[in-house]
Structure 1
Amino acid sequence: MQFVLLIYQGTTPLPGTDRWNALPEEEQRRVYAEYGQLNKAPGVTPGLPLGLPKDAKTVRATNGSAQVSDGPYVDERGAVGGYFLLEADDLTAAVKLASRIPAARLGGAIEVRPVAQYW
């Protein structure tokens, strides 16, 4: 089965921010190493690196005209910070891998969603 693991950053410190810089260097290295291990885990296809939510644009269409606003669709704490595509035997295996994502322990959350076929 395929799953998309959506990483919601929440209050997770992001590189280049004051909260990240306040983390001990050892913890910063640990976070990078954990993401590196996840990227190489069996069944994982890493998602493309996403920019910061503050740099996003949200687009809605009204009567064929694009309405563009600055920022993510939701507030920054609720914005998607990244994702993985995972081929796993079942939901239990997907949840197990999701629990290893650093954001899950650093103030964020991981949404595990099965991939579905609609067409």
Structure 2
Amino acid sequence: MRYLLTLHMNPTLWATLTDDQKNGVFEGHGTFIKLVTESGEMVETKALAEPSDTKTVRVKGGAKQVQDGAFIESEAFFCGYYVVDVETEERAVELAAMIPDAQYTAVEVRKIVHEG
């Protein structure tokens, strides 16, 4: 079963971390990627740009509307994800807890129900 493990960033929280804590998060991702790659559970991972580099597109009355910024205006924002292929939901949760961001914010675990 494939699961999406989503990461969310809160810039205010991030600003409170020490340089050692920030470096621990960066290094922790390298360790996590190595672990899930070697176990054969890694499908893909992506880090995403900040909301200021985002466009939100809607179509109303047949006209395209483009807005600078994220769909949801919030201090915290969706900043990246991992897709893992694991035997059980429990394993997906176990992996989510290993992501270094989980020490400071939530990591969402969501089952993938359709792939195109």
Please state which band the TM-score falls in when normalised by the shorter chain: 0.7 to 0.9
Pick aligned residue for 1:113 from 85, 110, 113: 110
Code of the aligned partner of 1:89: E
The TM-score with structure 1 as length reference comes to 0.79
Stretches of structure 1 that go unaligned for 5 or more consecutive residues are 14-18
Which secondary structure does the structure 1 equivalent of 2:25 belong to?
helix
Aligned to 1:92: 90
How many residues align? The count is 111
Aligned to 1:30: 24
Q: Structure 2 CA distance, aligned partners of 1:53 and 1:46?
A: 22
1:77 counterpart SS class: coil
Once the 2 structures are TM-superposed, how far is the Cα of residue 8 of structure 1 from its aligned partner?
Answer: 1.6
Q: Which has the higher helix share?
A: 2
Question: Are the equivalent residues in 2 in contact too, given 1:39–1:45 (CA < 8 A)?
Answer: no
- Structure with the higher fraction of residues in strand conformation: 2
Counterparts of 1:54 and 1:115, CA distance in 2: 28
Q: Deviations over 1:10-58 (max 9, x none)?
A: 3541xxxxx1xx6433223211111001112231234222111122111
Given the alignment of the two structures, is residue 3 of structure 1 paired with residue 20 of structure 2, yes or no? Answer: no
Map residues 31-110 of structure 1 onto 2, 5 A cutoff.
31-40=25-34, 41=36, 42=39, 43-106=41-104, 108-110=105-107
Provide TM-score, normalisation by structure 2: 0.81
Tell me the percent identity: 29
Structure 1 runs of 4+ aligned residues shifted over 6 Å read none
Corresponding residue SS for 2:95: helix
For the 8 Å contact 1:53–1:76, the answer to whether it is kept is no
For residue 62 of structure 1, report the CA deviation from its aligned partner: 1.1
RMSD: 2.0
